[in-house]
Amino acid sequence: MPTKLIIDTDPGVDDAFAIALAALADDVELLGVTSVYGNVPLSATTINARRVLALCGRHDVPVAAGAERPLVHRHPNEARYVHGADGLSGRSHALPEPTRDLDERDAVTLLADLLDAADEPVTIAPIGPLTNIATLLAAHPRLAGKIARIVIMGGALGHGNSTAAAEFNIWSDPEAAHRVLAGGQAPCVLVPMDLTYRCAVDAVWMTELAGSGPIGAALDALTPDYREHYRGALGWDGMVLHDAVAVAEAIRPGTLQTERLPVQVECGFGPGRGATHADRRLPALRASSAEPDAAPEIDVAVDTDLDGLRAQLLSALRVNSRVPGEDPLRTL
Ligand code: RIB
Ligand code: CA
């Protein structure tokens, strides 16, 4: 049976690859896409999501806009320095314009309506700040039972990226992340940057994608600013497709190897704000010293067949289908 999937996203170059991965897959029923602030403001993430779906010919997929800021505290910073001023290396306007209107519902209402209408549990893949998902769980607790899994790109078991301690999606709204990860309302899979970094793709991979067809060429055209950032972050000419790794797991459970670990999010205002503390002590020791408000165990992705995943992503994205009659890369 195809995976029923909703993606919550802040495109973002790696988000664009993740959305395309789901939009082009034949073992996914992409029920909807919801946008959230994050890499760039909500207005930009929303049009970027709609344009990537248009590129993939998915005018059937509703897009609804969600939170424009975190639950409680202001958003500390965007990530234009990674994704470019418009979130897609300044190339968003070169993508096809959406022919489907923005859904008149807000993101949380669309999420709730899709969950309510689903005849089997739905996987939600948040690949940006978790503000929309925390709001959904708070406002519609009865719908938690309709959620198969929440497969989240976020967190860091070691060092962060936005700060020494915190990964961007969690750092953007730590209170929302803690509500989702420690709330125990739905099965969570956390895909941290420790693993996504190990899945980085190289220049050969990117050249093969660029030459694979119109969609691959259009996705490659979105990467210059992102690739430049990762040339510095990695120390070699590669890219980290964080969100595509998480969506690959959302689509096909078991793609990533996981461990059952309690994860708490640091919500203070010290240097550790937004850190994800996974308790990797042995269960017996954890149990013997259980604090009264110990977080529930969730699945944390710790490994995968790195080459196999890179090959799977390339194969899934190198398709020739595109929006009939539209050139994915309209000239400027
Ligand atoms: O830290 C990586 C995450 O933050 C990815 O989701 C990327 O798109 C940014 O949102
Ligand atoms: Ca993202």
**pLDDT for res 291:** 75
The CATH number of the domain holding residue 50 is: 3.90.245.10
The finding on whether 78 has its CB within 6 A of some atom of ligand 1 is no
**Mean of pLDDT values over 136-146:** 98
Domain containing 82 equals 3-330
Q: pLDDT digits over 209-218, tens only?
A: 999 999 999 9
* Atom of ligand 1 at shortest range from CA of 12: 8
Sign of CA dihedral 246, 250, 251, 256: positive
The first and second tokens of residue 9, run together, are 């996203």
Average pLDDT over residues 137-142: 98
Q: What are phi and psi of 42, to 5 degrees?
A: -55, -40
pLDDT at residue 326, rounded to an integer: 43
| Ligand 1 nearest atom to the CA of residue 167, by list position | 1
The span from the CA of 150 to the CA of 113, in Å, is 17
Over residues 223-275, the pLDDT tens digits come to 999 999 999 999 999 999 999 999 999 999 999 999 999 999 999 999 999 99
> To which residue do tokens 């899934």 refer?
316
- Catalytically annotated residues: 242
Rounded to the nearest whole angstrom, what is the distance from the C-alpha of residue 47 to the centroid of ligand 2? 14
Cβ of 10 closer than 6 Å to ligand 1, yes or no, is yes
Using the predicted structure, report yes or no on whether residue 330 has a pLDDT greater than 70: no
Query: Among 13, 56, 5, which residue's Cα sits nearest to residue 253?
Result: 5
pLDDT band at 324 (very low <50, low <70, confident <90, very high): very low
Q: What tokens does 286 get?
A: 């954890």
Answer yes or no: is the C-beta of 155 below 6 A from any ligand 1 atom.
no
Average pLDDT score over residue span 63-87: 93
Residue 176 burial (CB < 10 Å; 0-12/13-18/19+)?
buried
**Spatial distance between the Cα atoms of 315 and 205, rounded to a whole number of angstroms:** 11
pLDDT reading at 292 higher than 90:
no
Cα(289) to centroid of ligand 1, in Å? Answer: 34
Specify the DSSP element, H or E, that contains 239: strand 238-239
The token pair that represents 101 in the structure block: 């209107």
- Residue 135 contacts residue 94 (beta carbons within 8 Å): no
Tokens representing 133 are 């998902």
Q: How many domains does the chain have?
A: 1
Percent of the chain exceeding pLDDT 90 equals 89
Q: What is the pTM of this model?
A: 0.95
pLDDT tens digits along 146-199: 999 999 999 999 999 999 999 999 999 999 999 999 999 999 999 999 999 999
